[in-house]
């Protein structure tokens, strides 16, 4: 089946799309303009797709010249033949006529989801950035903060494996999802491009006439010891450093929203609330606004993308420093996957806590990052990255 996207909320609900009626892939200049044209031509249908982090170059006067082992288009959207909303034991058909093909695939998919007899992998990840260089780069970024070039920056590193053959991609996704159980989890398959995403973060949602964004800044490890786990949660909640990081990004999102919002409608609905997931505690804020009637999908993307939690502030200066200090092209990592409904509502995640795979080149990537501020301890930042990424990489190896 060509092009599969499963948006899995891990609460018994989700949306499954598969098959292709028409699609757009684009890279380089005028990507977003081409996307809007595609959306206008297919506005009465469900559309699924992704936005690469490197669309920043089409929004601002920026570039991406770092190593790219994955070679994904900058964006890829399509009109699926079939869209099904999964609600516990019920299946609601949103797009496409019921026929044997749809039920054959649905049965296959659900069998994969319920089969816990996962395959084991022998994959050896290696860091593209050695620890010593990571620490040097964090110190360079802190010097930029000290000079006043930026206030905060999201600095990322890549772990990668070559010559990887993933024969059972759906099995791989469900194995990893069994570990993370994240609310914005995604399985994405497009020809030779695959994403196994365990994201806890929403980039942006439009529902009726309300936009919300829910940036994450602040992470603490979970523990099987209840007392230690609760202490970790309280330490995160009361950390001045983590709260400061989060508030900076909240201000950035408020500023982004003000470009496309009706006057006086931008509001912070939740500030620095702690949410607990299977592998980590996270500090999350919720910012909302009412968009202008004249603001279409790509107007909103131009105003808010890439998401502030994955860039820093000020956004353009932070992205310039990211390109200078990082050793890999982010591509779809720290981009977004989601869908647009026929009524114009949409929902998109942040692509983090993910494995991204090119089957043609057998290249597997697992990137991870964190916010750097003037108070950042490079060693502590490195260890926080290990907390985020370890269970993903180890999860493939385990029985």
Where in the sequence numbering do the catalytic residues fall? 201, 217
Are the C-beta atoms of 347 and 339 separated by less than 8 Å? Answer: yes
Are the C-beta atoms of 52 and 346 separated by less than 8 Å? Answer: no
Measure the CA–CA gap between 340 and 48, rounded to whole angstroms: 6
Measure the CA–CA gap between 262 and 270, rounded to whole angstroms: 20
* Closest-CA residue to 38 (of 59, 56, 24): 24
Measure the CA–CA gap between 248 and 74, rounded to whole angstroms: 28
For residue 52, what is the DSSP state?
A: -
The residue written with tokens 């044997």 in the block is 100
DSSP assignments along 323-347, one per residue: HHH-SS--TTTTSEEEEE-TTS-EE
* Helix extents (H) in the chain: 31-41, 56-59, 100-114, 131-147, 169-180, 226-237, 240-258, 297-304, 315-325, 378-397
3-state secondary structure of 237: helix
Measure the CA–CA gap between 52 and 78, rounded to whole angstroms: 15
């Amino acid at each position: 089946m060509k092009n599969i996207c499963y948006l899995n909320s891990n609460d018994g609900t989700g949306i499954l799309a598969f098959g292709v009626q028409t699609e757009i892939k684009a890279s380089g200049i005028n990507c977003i303009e081409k996307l809007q044209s595609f959306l206008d031509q297919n506005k009465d249908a469900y559309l699924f797709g992704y936005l690469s982090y490197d669309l920043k170059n089409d929004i601002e006067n920026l570039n991406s010249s770092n190593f790219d082992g994955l070679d994904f288009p900058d964006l890829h959207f399509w009109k699926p033949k079939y869209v099904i909303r999964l609600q516990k034991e019920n299946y609601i058909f949103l797009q496409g006529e019921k026929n044997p093909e749809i039920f054959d695939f649905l049965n296959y998919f659900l069998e994969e989801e319920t089969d816990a007899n996962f395959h084991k992998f022998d994959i050896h990840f290696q860091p593209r950035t050695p620890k010593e260089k990571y620490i040097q780069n964090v110190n360079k970024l802190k010097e930029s903060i000290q000079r006043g070039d930026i206030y905060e920056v999201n600095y990322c590193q890549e772990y990668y494996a070559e010559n990887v053959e993933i024969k059972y991609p759906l099995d791989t996704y469900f194995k990893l999802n069994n570990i993370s159980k994240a609310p914005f989890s995604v399985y994405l398959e497009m020809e030779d491009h695959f994403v196994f995403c365990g994201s806890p973060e929403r980039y942006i949602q439009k529902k009726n006439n309300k936009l919300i964004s829910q940036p994450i800044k602040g992470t603490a490890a979970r523990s099987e010891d209840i007392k230690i786990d609760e202490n970790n949660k309280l330490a995160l909640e009361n950390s001045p450093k983590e709260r400061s990081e989060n508030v900076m990004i909240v201000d950035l999102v408020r500023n982004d929203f003000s470009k496309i919002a009706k006057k006086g409608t931008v509001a912070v609905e939740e500030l620095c609330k702690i949410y607990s997931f299977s592998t980590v505690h996270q500090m999350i804020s919720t910012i909302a606004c009412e968009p202008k009637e004249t603001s279409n999908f790509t107007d909103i993307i131009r105003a808010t993308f890439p998401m502030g939690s994955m860039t820093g502030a000020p956004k353009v200066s932070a992205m310039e420093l990211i390109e200078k200090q990082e050793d890999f092209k982010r591509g779809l990592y720290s981009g977004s996957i989601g869908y647009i409904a026929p009524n114009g509502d949409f929902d998109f995640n942040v692509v983090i806590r993910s494995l991204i795979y090119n089957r043609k080149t057998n290249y597997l990537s697992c990137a991870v990052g964190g916010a750097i501020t003037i108070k950042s301890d490079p060693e502590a930042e490195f260890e926080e990255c290990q907390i985020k990424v370890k269970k993903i990489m180890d999860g493939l190896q385990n029985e």
